[in-house]
Structure 1
Amino acid sequence: MFSQSPYACRVEWGKRGAREAAERGDIMIIVDVLSFSSTVVSALRYGAVLYPYPPDLNGKEYAEKLGAEYILGRAEAAKVGKPTLSPVSFRSEHANKRYVLSSLNGAFCTWIASEVPALFIGSLLNASSAAAAANRFQAQTKANITVVPCGEQWSNRKEEEDALRPSIEDYLGAGAIVSMLDGEKSPEAEVCMGAFQSARQKIKELIWESGSGRELRAKGFGEDVIHCSRLNVYQTVPILNKDHFVEAQY
């Protein structure tokens, strides 16, 4: 049976990894650099209130019940000037407004793991602060920490094929956070940290040319790639409070 026990700091991929960590009762850090995590961090920095929700459920109906606005897709929202999964679309004018944010990866993993002792959102933007928040909570609770790089989804996959496509931006984001976590690290966490340390001086270039980066650029969202590739520029750390994100105190 696959296991990273007895290590205090672990790395698990995607929805299955989120479920495994949730069942263990671990502190969790969700990492979806392009773009769920970066969007949540950026939006919360401006005071917006975000409710994560899986994309295959009725998000619009859920938003209506909350008195919130359902966030549209990037292209659709850009036409009408509304905030979207693009992190640079959030500004100070969105403070104290409620939004339901869906995504195939980060929002879905958050929903799966919503019952853990603490669920933080980490990215390159807030890697150091996210690690500090998790370390403080770990010291208080003695729970283990699992960092979950969410990855992407293959399109047009066949029925017998896996949907998860591991992505370097999430692996590097996870590695940046892992490098600052306390506690003994699993081999998987050690290798993830090593990838970040090796690539640290050229993270922006690697993500810009990565498959995910090129995909966003082709759709006209190169500014998102640039924004999400910056390391430790924010101290904002979102933590899930029942059904929405608030800023963690650490």
Structure 2
Amino acid sequence: MFDQSPFHCRVEWGRRGARDAADRGDLVIVVDVLSFSSTVVTALNYGAIIYPYPPNLNGKDFAGKIGAQYILGRSEAAKLGIPTLSPVSFNQAHENKKYVLTSLNGAFCTWIASKVPALLIGSLLNASSVARVANQLSTQANVNITVIPCGEQWNDVRANEDTLRPSIEDYLGAGAILAELEGSKSPEAELCTAAFTHANQKISDLIWDCGSGRELREKGFAEDVRHCSQLNIFQTVPLLKKDHFEDVR
């Protein structure tokens, strides 16, 4: 059976990885660089209140019940000039306002792992800060750490095919965090760390030209790709508290 249990720091992909980490009772760091994690970090940096919600449930009804705005898709929201899954759509004007944010990957993984001892949101934007908080919380609670690169979903999936599309931006984001986590690392975590260390000086170029980056750029969201590729520009660390994120600071 696939198992990284001898090690303090592990890395697992996507929704299945989130479920396994939750079953073990690990501290979980969800990494979805383009763009759920980057959007949550950026929004909280400006004081917004973010409620993660899976796309298979009725997020609009939930938003209505809590007095929040349901975040629309990028293109639709951009036309209306309102916040969206695009991290650069958030600014100081959104302080203390509530938003329900859904996504196929980051929000879904968050939902699946929501009952763990602590769930943090990590990205390139806050890699060092989230690692520092994870080290502290892990020591306090005496639990292991699993970093979850969420990946993307394939379109036009056929019978007997997997839906998960591993993505280099999430792998590099996970590696940036793992590089600063304390304790023993599984071989999978060591390799993820090495990928980040090797690519550290050209991360922005790699993400700009990777499949996910090109997909966003072709849809007109090049600024999202630039923003999400920046390393350690925020100290914001989102921690899930019941149904919304709070900045640990």
Question: Into which bin does the TM-score normalised by the smaller protein fall?
Answer: over 0.9
Report what 2:125 is aligned to: 125
Report what 2:52 is aligned to: 52
Deviation (angstroms), 1:248: 1.2
Structure 1 position 98 matched with structure 2 position 136: no
The whole-number CA distance in structure 2 between the counterparts of 1:55 and 1:140 is 33
Q: How does 1:1-250 map to 2 (within 5 A)?
A: 1-249=1-249
The whole-number CA distance in structure 1 between the counterparts of 2:199 and 2:220 is 26
The whole-number CA distance in structure 2 between the counterparts of 1:65 and 1:142 is 36
TM value normalised by structure 1: 0.99
Amino acid at match of 1:149: P
The whole-number CA distance in structure 2 between the counterparts of 1:60 and 1:225 is 27
Aligned-partner SS, 1:107? helix
Amino acid at match of 2:144: N
Amino acid at match of 2:14: G
Question: 1:39-78: CA deviations, max 9, x gaps?
Answer: 0000000000000000111110110011111000000000
Q: Gapped runs of 5+ residues in structure 1?
A: none
Aligned-partner SS, 1:100? strand
The whole-number CA distance in structure 2 between the counterparts of 1:44 and 1:160 is 39
The whole-number CA distance in structure 2 between the counterparts of 1:207 and 1:13 is 19
- Corresponding residue pairs, total: 249
The whole-number CA distance in structure 2 between the counterparts of 1:189 and 1:74 is 33
Amino acid at match of 1:147: V
Q: Gapped runs of 5+ residues in structure 2?
A: none
Aligned-partner SS, 2:240? strand
Deviation (angstroms), 1:224: 0.1
The whole-number CA distance in structure 2 between the counterparts of 1:217 and 1:85 is 15
Deviation (angstroms), 1:148: 0.2
Counting aligned pairs with the same residue, the percent is 70
The whole-number CA distance in structure 1 between the counterparts of 2:239 and 2:5 is 25
The whole-number CA distance in structure 2 between the counterparts of 1:5 and 1:143 is 12
The whole-number CA distance in structure 1 between the counterparts of 2:177 and 2:213 is 20
Deviation (angstroms), 1:159: 2.3
The whole-number CA distance in structure 2 between the counterparts of 1:62 and 1:24 is 29
The whole-number CA distance in structure 1 between the counterparts of 2:34 and 2:43 is 14
The whole-number CA distance in structure 2 between the counterparts of 1:63 and 1:116 is 24
TM value normalised by structure 2: 0.99
Deviation (angstroms), 1:216: 0.1
Deviation (angstroms), 1:209: 0.1
Amino acid at match of 1:81: G
Amino acid at match of 1:93: A
Question: 1:124-143: CA deviations, max 9, x gaps?
Answer: 00000000000000111110
The whole-number CA distance in structure 2 between the counterparts of 1:85 and 1:159 is 30
Aligned-partner SS, 1:239? strand
The whole-number CA distance in structure 1 between the counterparts of 2:131 and 2:181 is 5
**4+ runs of 1 displaced by more than 4 Å?**
none
